[in-house]
Chains A and B, each alone.
Chain A
């Protein structure tokens, strides 16, 4: 089978000796749900810091609009399920079907946000954002996404993502959904088609950046050294 070297040990036996010889105790990783909860906790922390800038009266008013409330619920649920799926798929032996978990809330999020577009025609006169606020939303989404992305990549690397692209895409989705959910309290206006497009672009950039960068970050050499 393996070649025999002069020292009498096969290639595999030598490797086993090397690995066992340099063995150090490791701290077992918590369950994916626990790790997802930790990451979501960090996202919540950012949300609490932002809450100081929120306008509660306006927030309550917007949440009474069914499609805005549904989009918010969809984004929150997408963040939770995508984070769990990302951590679950980062552990060897866990089913890749966990990746399907965020799809229903994702459909709710996208669908409810899409309804927002219609309101522009159904109820004309809604608060149309100017170019300045739209850029503000865009930079907000990106600024919130960066620290959350860095955190989730660092946490995912501690496991062993054998499907790095899938795990990274799920992580990206979790980040994008969390950032969109965090935007709700500080959102200065109602959803419109332009608004939705900008959001979609920001979300796509975050997912793609995580998928491309994270795929490499979470690849073969990821994990414990």
Chain B
């Protein structure tokens, strides 16, 4: 029985681990939305559950393992996020276990599993005191803060860097060197003196003048 089921899973493009532990890798199940594959998945899960109802522990283990990614995808679709997804998966598997006698193998398995997962996801969201976030709720969608950079933020930074580079390039050589080494590369006065062959006093004067010139030119540019 299980061999036939395993063959079905392989035919559906699933990876089966060899050995006594018939673990099924379903990481690709979510990517495969083809009707044929889904039908095969339905049939396989239904057959595994039918065997599990008869007391076949290996089939049951394969079924529950195959359900893990499916259940967590269903929980996410219900609006559960973060670690709560794992809690829903645990609750849903416990309910699947309790309710396994109520499954009729003549009917599709996924709606049965989805009903259980949705109920457990709603329970979890209610317990957390939150309402499920509807993806089609425009107000909630607008109010959702985006932690990433704002649009155009990179372009502004790029513009500022380019303006600074232009202003620095326009400085006389001595001042430019002082800004580049002391200001931008953050070298010490001694290191810069050794690098450029200028005295430390001259470098200080150059840096002072350069900053003054930059302030003037950048202020002018902004205006």
Contacts and interface: CB of A to CB of B under 8 A. Distances in A.
A219 to B, nearest CB: 10
Contacts, number: 98
Interface stretch (B3-11, B92-100, B203-211): B92-100
Contact of B99 (A19, A23, A163, A223): A223
A27 interface: yes
A6 interface: no
B80 interface: no
A224 interface: yes
A31 interface: yes
Contacts of A160: 95, 98-99, 102, 116
A1 B86 contact: yes
A27 B107 CA distance: 17
B98 A225 contact: yes
B102 to A, nearest CB: 4
Contacts of A162: 115-116, 119
Contact of A28 (B56, B98, B101, B113): B101
B115 A16 contact: no
Interface of A: 1-2, 11-13, 15-17, 19-21, 23-29, 31, 90-94, 158-160, 162-163, 220, 223-225
Nearest to B67: A16
Contacts of B116: 92, 160, 162
Q: How large is the interface on B (under 10, 10 to 19, 20 to 34, 35 or more residues)?
A: 35 or more
B53 A28 contact: yes
For the complex, would chain B's binding face be called helix, strand, loop or mixed by DSSP majority? helix
Which interface residue of A16, A27, A90, A158 has the most chain B CB atoms within 10 A? A16
Interface stretch (B58-66, B169-177, B194-202): B58-66
B183 interface: no
Contacts of B94: 15, 19
Nearest to A25: B55
Contacts of B98: 160, 223-225
B68 interface: yes
Interface in B27-69: 52-58, 60-61, 64-65, 68
B104 interface: yes
Nearest to B107: A93
B72 interface: yes
B65 A16 contact: yes
Given A1-B86, A2-B89, A20-B60, 9 more contacts: A25-B55, A28-B53, A92-B113, A92-B116, A93-B114, A160-B95, A223-B99, A223-B102, A224-B98
Contacts of B105: 28
A93 B111 contact: yes
B123 interface: yes
A11 B107 contact: no
Given A20-B57, A92-B112, A93-B107, A29 B101 contact: yes
